[in-house]
Chain A
Amino acid sequence: MKARKIDGLDADGTLADNAERIVLVRLDELCGFMPQAADPAEWVALHDMRIAAKRLRYILEVTGHVFGPYARSATKHTKDLQDLLGEIHDCDVQIPATAASAVRLLEADAEALVALAGNADDLDPELLRQAPHLLDHTGVAALEAHLRARRRVLFARFLEQWDVLERKGFRARLEYAVSERTA
């Protein structure tokens, strides 16, 4: 996801004024992914939201302490959100990768069985005992089941976490905090 361009940045302006502009845009980007990303099927929106959270986190980590006190709390909330979205993303990468590995195992066994069959008119089921990956399929299938379940558990946690942020006024409080300056 390409970051939105920020207008009005000035290298000779103050750090806080420039950082305020960046935070406001990055915060708006992050919040803009909801409610779309609340749909478990909208995994692209969810992963773009992760990138948006990362961008907001970095600007807050670098400049957060020049703003009002809530900016520091917001840094931690954003990091927690990004970490959780990262865990969900890992599942979304690993689920198809594990499924692809399972297919490779199946194909390797099928090829080996064809070779073992030689010129036979049909495949003798007894040959299955000689399949090279006969005992490997279970573990790979178990892993895929684990990853699919973990994704659901983490996604439910994400919805809860976002709900708490909204109820506690995350956006409005951060917008106010970046209008404040430390002495």
Chain B
Amino acid sequence: MAKAEDISITADEPFRLAAARIVRTRTEELVAHADGVLDTRDIERVHDMRVASRRLRAVLEIFAVCFPPSEFKGVLKDVKALADALGERRDPDVHIAALQAFGKVLTPTQRRGVTWLVAEQRELQTAGNEVLAAALQRMEERGLRERLLALADAAEGVEEEDA
């Protein structure tokens, strides 16, 4: 599992400045994990991106008070939707791995039923990958990274150039 980057924070720094720094770092971690995430041969990629999405969602919720409410609401909704899509792909990955491990302790005759269950999960995995592909495209189209970074700027008090 990808380790989250340590972010230096201090007890007495303003909440909103810590929010800006942490959201920027967690946003870039999320985006960095998008590469190759649709490849079902390497299930760790989707796992890492899902973990990154959870961490990002958590910090958004922790620091919610630091962000402009109207922009924050939409960004959080999009991060949740992305996390859900990652879950739709990840859940069958986990079930397949667990079923295959379970199948190893069974006799060949008993294993047939488990193989049938794996086939069911493969179908869900394929469907989940389609859901995830659409979510990744939506993330691009809706400029999720840029909107997250804009939230961080707002927390820090940075004015937008065109404001």
Residues of A within 8 A of B (CB): 3, 9-16, 18-19, 22, 55, 58-59, 61-63, 65-67, 90, 94, 98, 101, 105, 133, 135-143, 146, 181-182
Contacts and interface: CB of A to CB of B under 8 A. Distances in A.
Nearest to A20: B11
Contacts of B18: 15
Nearest to A13: B15
Interface stretch (B27-35, B36-44, B54-62, B130-138): B54-62
Interface in B103-145: 103, 106, 109-117, 120
A94 B62 contact: no
B14 A139 contact: no
B114 A140 contact: yes
Nearest to A59: B62
Contacts of A10: 15, 65
Interface of B: 4, 9-16, 18-19, 22, 55, 58-59, 61-62, 65-66, 94-95, 98-99, 102-103, 106, 109-117, 120, 155
B10 A94 contact: no
Given A143-B117, A146-B102, A181 B11 contact: yes
Contacts of A55: 58, 61
Q: Is the interface of A mostly helix, strand, loop or mixed?
A: helix
B110 to A, nearest CB: 4
A55 B117 CA distance: 33
A62 B114 contact: no
14 contacts: A11-B155, A12-B14, A13-B14, A13-B15, A15-B11, A16-B11, A58-B62, A94-B95, A105-B116, A133-B113, A139-B110, A139-B116, A141-B113, A143-B117
Given A11-B16, A18-B15, A182-B11, A143 B59 contact: no
Contacts of A12: 14-16
Contact of B11 (A11, A59, A61, A66): A66
A14 B13 contact: yes
